Structure 1
Amino acid sequence: MPRHAHIIFDLDGTLIDSAPAILASFVAAFAAAGRIPVRPVTDDVIGPPLTETLQLLSGSDDPAVIDTLADHFKAAYDGDGLKQTTAYPGVGDMLEQLHRQGIALHIATNKRLAPTLKILDLLGWRTYFDAIYALDMVTPRLPNKATMIGRLLAERGIAANQAAYVGDRLEDGEAASANALPFYAATWGYGAITPDALRSGWMHLPTPSADRLMTD
């Protein structure tokens, strides 16, 4: 029997390399708004919710500024931008193997729901996942990833001892721990936790591996 009946995945930096599409869309958003980012638009800004990243890049928390930038970002990214998204090598095979073994797969991501669904369709993965949760799936949006995972577990009737979370950032591990879930640190993505930063009880997943997730 597999160790976990349910596996919940982060998306950006864990299953997909969305960096080129996201970074290009941030650059396009600032250009369209006639603003210059206050810091470089590099991989390390990817991961937090869109509003937080735009506040970081703009150096502003003015709602009008952030709303304008967000609109421009969404127009760039949700159109052709997200088509630059690629799967990390081995991820498609991992998901197929887990799904074939009867493990229920889910997503809990900071990415907005609309582009998440488009990307899953683009990659042909939508049918692998039983539940797809995003911060903006409800209004007002969910406050953080820990709350989102807790909602997924509650609404799906999943006990913590039946599931695990896989992600690439410290925030992901903290959100898993907040819900008493085992955490697998995917260290192949752009937000990757370094092995020496793993906390007690967290497991290192250096490459996409269905076998590790089913047995470790």
Structure 2
Amino acid sequence: MVRYPHILFDLDGTLIDSAPAILASFREAFASTGVAPVRSIDESVIGPPLTETLQLLSGSNDPALIGRISDAFKASYDSEGYKATAAYTGVGELLAQLAAAGRQLSIATNKRIHPTRLILAHLGWLDYFSHVYALDLFTPRLPDKAAMIARLLADQNIARDQAIYLGDRSEDGESADANGLPFIAVTWGYGSLTASEMRPGWRAAARPSILGELLLLG
């Protein structure tokens, strides 16, 4: 019996290195709106939803201000910025290997659904994924990644003992735990969980080839 027929992936920091594209669009958004960020715009801010990140960078929760910066970011990133996104070395081969082995692949990401689809198309990966979920795929917006994974499992009638979630941040592992899913942390991304951050039952993979072995061979 196949151990994990359904494989759910995080996106940023797991399958793709989106940092250069995202950070460039953040810098452009703050510059074009005349807002000075209160902290460094670097890889440490990548991962949370856009609004949360903009609140962190601006030091403000003012909806009007966050809306202006958000609109500027989207204008930059959704038009040309996303094209600077790169796949991590070996990930394309991993996805092809898993698809050829008959695994059903899905994405559950904090990234907005529009640029997620743009990036998958840009990389030629759309056909690999049966389901692509994001927080803003639904109205009202889903509250967090744990709820998104739960919605994906319910919508697609995926049994929890038939699925696994993969990501690069502690939030990913906690979201898997909340849904009773096993979790593998990829340590090539910018989340890069350390040994001290790993929870009981979590496993880690340092390269896509190792991840493929864990998923296909157990």
Question: Equivalent residue of 2:105, what SS?
Answer: strand
Contact 1:29/1:73 (8 A) holds in 2: yes
Aligned position for 1:19: 19
Q: How high is the sequence identity, in percent, across the aligned residues?
A: 60
The residue type paired with residue 182 of structure 1 is: P
Q: Measure how far apart 1:196 and its partner are.
A: 3.0
The residue type paired with residue 67 of structure 1 is: G
Contact 1:85/1:119 (8 A) holds in 2: yes
The residue type paired with residue 107 of structure 2 is: I
Return the alpha-carbon distance in structure 2 between the equivalents of residues 34 and 178 of structure 1.
40
Aligned position for 1:215: 217
Aligned position for 1:63: 63
Return the alpha-carbon distance in structure 2 between the equivalents of residues 54 and 123 of structure 1.
27
Answering whether residue 175 of structure 2 is matched by residue 168 of structure 1, we say no
The residue type paired with residue 213 of structure 2 is: D
Structure 1, unmatched stretches of 5+, are none
Aligned position for 1:30: 30
Aligned position for 2:72: 72
Aligned position for 2:99: 99
When the two structures are superposed, what TM-score results if normalisation uses the length of structure 2?
Answer: 0.98
Q: Deviations over 1:134-155 (max 9, x none)?
A: 0000122100000000000000
Structure 2, unmatched stretches of 5+, are none
Answering whether residue 191 of structure 2 is matched by residue 191 of structure 1, we say yes
Q: Measure how far apart 1:2 and its partner are.
A: 3.1
Question: Equivalent residue of 1:56, what SS?
Answer: helix
Q: Measure how far apart 1:82 and its partner are.
A: 0.5
Return the alpha-carbon distance in structure 1 between the equivalents of residues 96 and 196 of structure 2.
30
The residue type paired with residue 169 of structure 1 is: R
Contact 1:8/1:105 (8 A) holds in 2: yes
Return the alpha-carbon distance in structure 1 between the equivalents of residues 195 and 17 of structure 2.
20
Return the alpha-carbon distance in structure 2 between the equivalents of residues 12 and 165 of structure 1.
14
Aligned position for 2:200: 200
Return the alpha-carbon distance in structure 1 between the equivalents of residues 192 and 111 of structure 2.
17
Question: Equivalent residue of 2:132, what SS?
Answer: strand
Question: Equivalent residue of 1:14, what SS?
Answer: coil
Structure 1 runs (4+) deviating above 3 angstroms are: none
User: C-alpha root-mean-square deviation of aligned residues, in Å?
Assistant: 0.7
Q: Deviations over 1:95-117 (max 9, x none)?
A: 00000000000000000000000
The residue type paired with residue 47 of structure 1 is: G
Return the alpha-carbon distance in structure 1 between the equivalents of residues 74 and 192 of structure 2.
25
Q: Measure how far apart 1:191 and its partner are.
A: 1.5
Q: Deviations over 1:57-91 (max 9, x none)?
A: 00000000000000000001001100100000010
How many aligned positions are there? 216
The residue type paired with residue 214 of structure 1 is: L
The residue type paired with residue 175 of structure 2 is: A
Question: Equivalent residue of 2:22, what SS?
Answer: helix
Return the alpha-carbon distance in structure 2 between the equivalents of residues 214 and 163 of structure 1.
13
Contact 1:2/1:215 (8 A) holds in 2: no
- Name which of structure 1's ranges 26-35 and 195-204 shifts more when overlaid on structure 2: 195-204
Q: Measure how far apart 1:215 and its partner are.
A: 2.4
